[in-house]
Structure 1
Amino acid sequence: MANRMILNETSYIGAGAIENIVAEAKVRGYKKALAVTDRDLIKFNVATKVTDLLKANNLAFEIFDEVKANPTINVVLAGIEKFKAAGADYLLAIGGGSSIDTAKAIGIIVKNPEFSDVRSLEGVADTKNKCVDIIAVPTTAGTAAEVTINYVITDEEKKRKFVCVDPHDIPVIAVVDSEMMSSMPKGLTAATGMDALTHAIEGYITKGAWELTDALHLKAIEIIGRSLRSAVNNEPKGREDMALGQYVAGMGFSNVGLGIVHGMAHPLGAFYDTPHGIANAVLLPYVMEYNAEATGYKYREIARAMGVQGVDSMSQDEYRKAAIDAVKKLSEDVGIPKVLNEIGVKEEDLQALSESAFADACTPGNPRDTSVEEILAIYKKAFK
């Protein structure tokens, strides 16, 4: 069986990369952008770094700034109407995963109107047409949505998040500029960085992993492990390394899938609007403990990539513990809560959360087959 790799057509990575947006828009003959972002990024003059470039170069655009964390069906529908009313012909997604995911859903439905019921995109939708061209400009170093074929939408009515996987949704251009991330506060930097680490670790041990994605994920773990602390302290080198590390992780996991850390994190976002990175970060060590028996030698390489010394002289139990401890230490150092009850999870919801997690699209990729009962046991262990 052949392994598939899908990546961006073009990516620009490095400080000042947004300068390339102008030339790309002109050479591609784009007429008008719909800039998909959120009000805070406008308010704090982050998104305006990009829109000011467009203004200075007489490139037409309108702004859709209704994106929020854990974007909803109604936000997507409003964005579709805005795109049509604006007469736009491409999307410029400026923000974290929420902005880019919103743009993906807008772009898919505009080009595939038979999927106008947003819920119909759940899972692997059989869309026929590539989405509206997207230039994705991440402002967080975590989701790697700019290089993935995945997006996540929240169904507020049913209190659930659903994952959409579609090769037609990948942005045409990714612009990964660490200067766009410099205004992230410490808490958001930590949360999104741990999200990126979760992508790398889950992608490395998922059932679909293979040699090329293993190389990407181990490199991502190495970069994130050495740079997240300095990124949280807003050091330019740390910011730049994290921008790269999260992108490399995205190159991998987009093509092989994830596991039950994400399967369990998604319901927390749907039930409590928990930031996705925080949910992943709290759950990751507990799920690593659960999955250890199904990972062969891979925790040894995770420990090595995290900077643990002497792993070759360790027993299997020792290097597995070392990998988990290294993740716990990084999480603690950047200020992530240790248990679920610290982030608003309610004990009476754990059964419903477990059922939702078991049904999540990420769960089948977990290296260890699971059940509602076993997921519930992990939630309970992580609760307090």
Structure 2
Amino acid sequence: MTFDKVYQYNFPTTIRFGAGSVKELSNYLKNNDLHKPLIVTDSLIVQLPFFKEIVDDLQKHNISVEVFCDTHKNPVKSDVYKGVDVWDNTNRDSIIGIGGGAALDIARAIALRVNHREDLFKYDDLIGGDIFVTNEVPHFITIPTTSGTGSEVGRSAIIADDETHQKRILFSPKLMAKIVFADPLLTMDLPPFVTAATGMDALTHNMEAFLAKNPHPICDGIALEGISLIKDSLEKATNNPDLESRSKMMIASMMGAIAFQKGLGVVHSLAHPLSSLLDTHHGLANAVNIPYGIAFNIEGFEYKFRRISRALDLKEETGVAVVNYLFELNSKINIPHKLSDIGVREEHIETLADMAIADFAHPNNPKPVTRDDFKSLYLKAL
């Protein structure tokens, strides 16, 4: 496989992958009789040269562009409502999400709300709200700019309550993008920290999906290959990026998102409260917690860790070797080993443990996790 060509994949949706694939966007819109997209992104991306090039190209093809970027780092309900107000007031015909997980989650939630106007959290999948997603959604396109969440190929959006910061999941097959333009060139100028944190998010998705208790051999195979690709590319993509390493990370990120339809686990339930309580970058929260959460799962699942260690090409095929690899990788990409290094203090632990036990991810962990377990893991990581 070479990395200077555009390939098409159809799993689970149509993916135009490769350097320069985003240049196909204007023709795609015109061929689908779409002329007034709402672009949903964030306040940093709108300032970047590649974003301006995308908008300029659309305008050259007589496509009217409206940009919404008034959003939070960790998405909240009011972000979605403001975006829908822009949709209503500007007569749009499609939605394009451009960015990392936060921007794509907000874009997907806006797509849901356009034709579903009851309280947004009525559609929370955790309370069975997916059955109320009955109307059509606007034509929805995703363009990832990081290699982490893989949200571009997903069917759900995680949105928090503005006041309580509780995270809700909006889910429906209707929310899958019609097409993804996955162009690794858009990630070439990401700073090392963002590359490292989002890359560890992708690794967490793949590892937790493989370990998740629900049987799904297809996802297991995808997750193991995703782990292998990240092993080959994350350190280089962070410290000395080239097209190959960036391309492998983008593929691995999408693979993680496909695989975790099987479920996630303890690491994500450790990480989500950090974003809610302390506004910690989600990828960073996963990156610091993953060695501790993965270690928790070794006993009783040694056979799974043998397969992970093979995917990582480790000399010792043990869970301890996998955990040591994770600490070493974090060091190589300048991720701290301790929660205290990212603003967590002992006074936060009780609240974090309460939030973690209430989180939606750990019920799919291969072994049960109690509140005391979460408290103990936080203290080990502190």
TM-score (norm 1): 0.92
User: 2:66 is matched with which residue: 56, 62, 65?
Assistant: 62
Q: Hey, what does 2:346 align to over in structure 1?
A: 347
Q: Deviations over 1:136-190 (max 9, x none)?
A: 0011010100011222112231133333333222211111110111121000000
Q: Determine what percentage of the aligned residue pairs are the same residue.
A: 32
Q: Deviations over 1:212-268 (max 9, x none)?
A: 111100000000111001111222221111111111221211x21211211121111
Q: How many angstroms apart in 1 are the aligned matches of 2:171 and 2:230? A: 25
Q: How many angstroms apart in 1 are the aligned matches of 2:71 and 2:53? A: 18
Is 1:326 aligned with 2:325? yes
User: 1:238 is matched with which residue: 240, 245, 252?
Assistant: 245
The residue identity in structure 2 corresponding to 1:338 is H
C-alpha displacement of 1:108: 0.7
The residue identity in structure 2 corresponding to 1:193 is G
Residues 162 and 360 in structure 1, CA contact (< 8 A), matched pair in contact too? no
The residue identity in structure 2 corresponding to 1:111 is N
Is 1:359 aligned with 2:358? yes
C-alpha displacement of 1:117: 3.4
Q: Hey, what does 2:254 align to over in structure 1?
A: 247
The secondary structure found in structure 1 opposite 2:224 is: helix
Q: Deviations over 1:26-74 (max 9, x none)?
A: 2222131000011211112232232122112111220001123111111
Q: Hey, what does 2:217 align to over in structure 1?
A: 211
The secondary structure found in structure 2 opposite 1:47 is: helix
Identify the range of structure 1 (19-28 vs 194-203) with the bigger mean alpha-carbon deviation: 19-28
The residue identity in structure 1 corresponding to 2:247 is E
Is 1:36 aligned with 2:58? no
Q: Hey, what does 1:195 align to over in structure 2?
A: 201
C-alpha displacement of 1:119: 6.2
Q: How many angstroms apart in 2 are the aligned matches of 1:251 and 1:333? A: 27
Q: Hey, what does 2:157 align to over in structure 1?
A: 151
Q: How many angstroms apart in 2 are the aligned matches of 1:119 and 1:261? A: 27
Q: Hey, what does 1:315 align to over in structure 2?
A: none
Q: Hey, what does 1:87 align to over in structure 2?
A: 91
- Using a 3 Å threshold, how does the CA distance of structure 1 residues 69 and 46 change in structure 2: closer, same or farther? farther
- Using a 3 Å threshold, how does the CA distance of structure 1 residues 131 and 347 change in structure 2: closer, same or farther? farther
Is 1:373 aligned with 2:372? yes
Residues 202 and 258 in structure 1, CA contact (< 8 A), matched pair in contact too? yes
Identify the range of structure 1 (191-200 vs 336-345) with the bigger mean alpha-carbon deviation: 336-345
The residue identity in structure 2 corresponding to 1:282 is V
What residue ranges of structure 2 are gaps of 5+ in the alignment? 1-9
Residues 104 and 131 in structure 1, CA contact (< 8 A), matched pair in contact too? no
C-alpha displacement of 1:294: 3.9
Q: Hey, what does 1:3 align to over in structure 2?
A: none
User: 1:301 is matched with which residue: 293, 307, 310?
Assistant: 307
Q: Hey, what does 1:121 align to over in structure 2?
A: 124
Q: CA RMSD in A?
A: 1.6
The residue identity in structure 2 corresponding to 1:354 is A
Q: How many angstroms apart in 2 are the aligned matches of 1:382 and 1:46? A: 38
What residue ranges of structure 1 are gaps of 5+ in the alignment? 1-5, 312-318
TM-score (norm 2): 0.92
Q: Hey, what does 2:4 align to over in structure 1?
A: none
Residues 163 and 361 in structure 1, CA contact (< 8 A), matched pair in contact too? no
Q: Hey, what does 2:192 align to over in structure 1?
A: 186
Is 1:77 aligned with 2:81? yes
The secondary structure found in structure 2 opposite 1:106 is: helix
C-alpha displacement of 1:131: 2.9
Q: Hey, what does 1:265 align to over in structure 2?
A: 271
Q: How many angstroms apart in 2 are the aligned matches of 1:282 and 1:131? A: 37
Identify the range of structure 1 (169-178 vs 95-104) with the bigger mean alpha-carbon deviation: 169-178
C-alpha displacement of 1:310: 5.5
Identify the range of structure 1 (367-376 vs 213-222) with the bigger mean alpha-carbon deviation: 367-376
The secondary structure found in structure 2 opposite 1:156 is: coil
Alignment of 1:20-31 (within 5 A): 20-31=24-35
C-alpha displacement of 1:120: 4.7
The secondary structure found in structure 2 opposite 1:85 is: helix
Q: How many angstroms apart in 2 are the aligned matches of 1:191 and 1:132? A: 32
The residue identity in structure 2 corresponding to 1:152 is I
C-alpha displacement of 1:89: 1.5
The secondary structure found in structure 1 opposite 2:367 is: coil
Q: How many angstroms apart in 2 are the aligned matches of 1:120 and 1:151? A: 11
Residues 105 and 157 in structure 2, CA contact (< 8 A), matched pair in contact too? yes
